[in-house]
Amino acid sequence: MRSLDPLILSRIQFAWVIAWHILLPAFTVGVASYIAVLEGLHAMTGRDVYLRVSNFWIRIFAVTFGMGVVTGVVMPFQFGTNWSRLSDATANVIGPLLAYEGLLAFFLEASFLGVLLFGRKLVPPWMHLVAAVMVAAGTLFSSFWILATNSWMQTPAGYTIVDGRFYPTDWMEVIFTPSFPYRLVHTVLAFYITSALVVMGVGSYTVRCGRFLEEGRVMMTTALSLLTVLVPLQLVAGDQHGLNTLKHQPAKIAAIEARWETVAPVPLTLFALPEQDAETNRYALDVPYLGSLILTHSLDGSIKGLKDFPANERAPVAIVFFAFRIMVAAGILILALVVVGSVLRGLGRMFTSHWYLLACQLAIPLGFLAVLAGWTTTEVGRQPWTVYGLLRTADSVTPSLSGGHVLVSLVLYAVAYVVIYPTGVLILLRLVRNGPGGMLTGPDVPVQAGRPAVPIKELPRSPYPGGQP
């Protein structure tokens, strides 16, 4: 078992558990806010359709949030099981940030979630609205603190190093590191856009099926209105985040663009096969000047090439290069969907263009794809460091681990998530197929939340062998 490297296996394990986990906040952060808005709209207008749409998304939220909790509990323990030297070195600084996420976000979410899911009949309507707002606020607080932690590892500030360990000197600098505002805006916008695309796609499916037309239209119009604002904003935020990265993590930008030489003006490489060892690109398709224009907002600006950084301080170029391009491609498709949608909406043909409804449905995974690709870009782009420029990933791993042990845990995490996620997706698909039906409201029909109208199948030990009495 000597060939098994606990470092690389631990990295694969972390990538595996974080990648699956991040899909859930990418969705729940936006949907929590959406539910709060729908509840608010219902309180203001009194229109029942908002309540029906809200109840529909609450049921979907319940499934995804539960999965988010259990895959999220896994995360902090990874710092201990596989990255104990990182924990020992950095806990003085990032420990409190993680703890504040728990104190300010997780309890808020968990306590009010129960009321949001099951409490509509148990508390007054305004209290239910408060619960929805609190859950939404909790998801945003959580994003704030976890991204503050991540940003500190990307662009550390407000610390001093004594005996190889980090000590805080200024908490404001620790929390508001140079990359934090950009990362926070870019990520939260990405989460909102991801959720809006899901709502849009589910709405278009509902409209296409011809059932629950009113609900489907509400979903599509609310989602498209939001996307029309957020997607252009995201282009600006992404550009600014890129400029910020160029300033603070130039080696990451060089890897993103697969730039080996420092030249001016910088071309933009649309496609290439970067070769790490040969320090060159094969099959490169370059557009002159465009690199300078995008990266420096001038025609002759220059950026540092990878060869200006020691070979052992470069990220794996190909992964970062392609991940970034996948993110941008997804972004362009999303933008196209929004532009076309706005035009069709202006023409009054959005709900009747079957090809567009189908396109919206097919676009559901785009946000998730962009989030995963973006996360890969920023995290792999930080390599070979855990704390950028200061603590190497190789010096962060738990020393007592053997490759065989990590392989066992990696396989078990793999099996568990391969069981849990497809089941979750199947359940979500069924919820979507059932549609927002069976949730009519009125004086005689109790308002419901939480569980769907599924028949409970009898199991052998039931006292009623013939079925539900």
Partner 1 sequence: MIEPTISFVGIWSVILLSGVFLYVLLDGFDLGVGILHGFAPSTADGDVMMKSIAPVWDGNETWLVLGGVALLAAFPLAFAIIIPAVYFPILVMLLALAFRGVAFEFRFQDPAGRAFWDHAFHYGSLAATFAQGLVLGAFVQGFQVEGRQFAGGAFDFLTPFSAFVGAALVCGYGLLGAGWLILKTEGTLQNWARGLGQYCLIGVVFGLIVVSLWSPAIDASIATRWFSMPNVLFLWPIPLVTGALVFWEWRALRSGAEASPFVGALLLFLLAYLSLAISLWPMVVPFHFTLWEAASSPRTQAFLLVGTLFMLPVILMYSGWSYWVFRGKVRGRSNHEAAYED
Q: Could you say which residues in the range 329-388 bind partner 1, by CB under 8 A?
A: none
Choose between 232 and 438: whose C-beta lies nearer to partner 1. Answer: 438
Nearest to 174 by CA among 188, 199, 155, 189: 155
- Sequential DSSP letters for 333-371: HHHHHHHHHHHHHHHT-TTT-HHHHHHHHHTHHHHHHHH
Cβ(394)–Cβ(383) below 8 Å: no
Please list every residue from 58 through 77 that binds partner 1, using CB under 8 A. 62-63, 65-67, 69-74, 76-77
227: tokens are 């996307």
**Of 4, 45, 107, 225, which lies in the binding site for partner 1, with binding defined by CB under 8 A?**
107
Please list every residue from 25 through 64 that binds partner 1, using CB under 8 A. 62-63
- Asked if residue 450 binds partner 1 (CB under 8 A), the reply is yes
- Sequential DSSP letters for 78-99: HHHHT-HHHHHHHHHHHHHHHH
Largest CA distance in the chain: 80
Show contacts of 403-411: CB within 8 Å, 24+ apart: 403/1, 403/2, 403/3, 403/4, 403/5, 403/6, 403/9, 404/1, 404/4, 405/6, 406/4, 406/6, 406/9, 406/10, 406/13, 406/82, 407/4, 407/9, 409/13, 409/81, 410/9, 410/12, 410/13, 410/16
Choose between 106 and 309: whose C-beta lies nearer to partner 1. Answer: 106
**Of 12, 37, 43, 168, which lies in the binding site for partner 1, with binding defined by CB under 8 A?**
168
Q: How far is the CB of 178 from partner 1 (least distance, A)?
A: 20
Choose between 142 and 195: whose C-beta lies nearer to partner 1. Answer: 142
**In the block, which residue shows the tokens 């104990």?**
84
Choose between 70 and 235: whose C-beta lies nearer to partner 1. Answer: 70
Q: How far is the CB of 76 from partner 1 (least distance, A)?
A: 5
Choose between 81 and 262: whose C-beta lies nearer to partner 1. Answer: 81
Show contacts of 321-324: CB within 8 Å, 24+ apart: 321/255, 321/256, 321/257, 321/258, 321/269, 321/272, 321/274, 323/373, 323/374, 323/376, 323/377, 323/380, 324/256, 324/373, 324/374, 324/377
**Of 232, 273, 451, 467, which lies in the binding site for partner 1, with binding defined by CB under 8 A?**
451
Distance, CA of 412 to CA of 72 (rounded, Å): 16
> How many angstroms from the chain centroid is the CA of residue 264?
35
- Asked if residue 79 binds partner 1 (CB under 8 A), the reply is yes
Which of the stretches 224-232, 329-337, 364-372, 403-411 binds partner 1 when contact is defined by CB under 8 A?
A: 403-411
Distance, CA of 239 to CA of 189 (rounded, Å): 13
Which of the stretches 114-122, 289-297, 304-312, 348-356 binds partner 1 when contact is defined by CB under 8 A?
A: 114-122
Reduce the DSSP state of residue 282 to 3 states and report it. Answer: strand
Q: How far is the CB of 211 from partner 1 (least distance, A)?
A: 17
Q: How far is the CB of 119 from partner 1 (least distance, A)?
A: 5
Which of the stretches 168-176, 284-292, 312-320, 371-379 binds partner 1 when contact is defined by CB under 8 A?
A: 168-176
Please list every residue from 82 through 101 that binds partner 1, using CB under 8 A. 84-85, 87-88, 91-93, 95-96, 98-101
**Of 119, 265, 316, 384, which lies in the binding site for partner 1, with binding defined by CB under 8 A?**
119
Helix (H) or strand (E) segment spanning residue 281: strand 280-287
**Of 45, 225, 298, 423, which lies in the binding site for partner 1, with binding defined by CB under 8 A?**
423
- Asked if residue 132 binds partner 1 (CB under 8 A), the reply is no
Choose between 16 and 106: whose C-beta lies nearer to partner 1. Answer: 106
Which of the stretches 184-192, 203-211, 287-295, 446-454 binds partner 1 when contact is defined by CB under 8 A?
A: 446-454
Q: How far is the CB of 121 from partner 1 (least distance, A)?
A: 6
458: tokens are 């009898």
Which of the stretches 221-229, 273-281, 327-335, 459-467 binds partner 1 when contact is defined by CB under 8 A?
A: 459-467
Choose between 17 and 315: whose C-beta lies nearer to partner 1. Answer: 17
**Of 124, 310, 463, 465, which lies in the binding site for partner 1, with binding defined by CB under 8 A?**
463
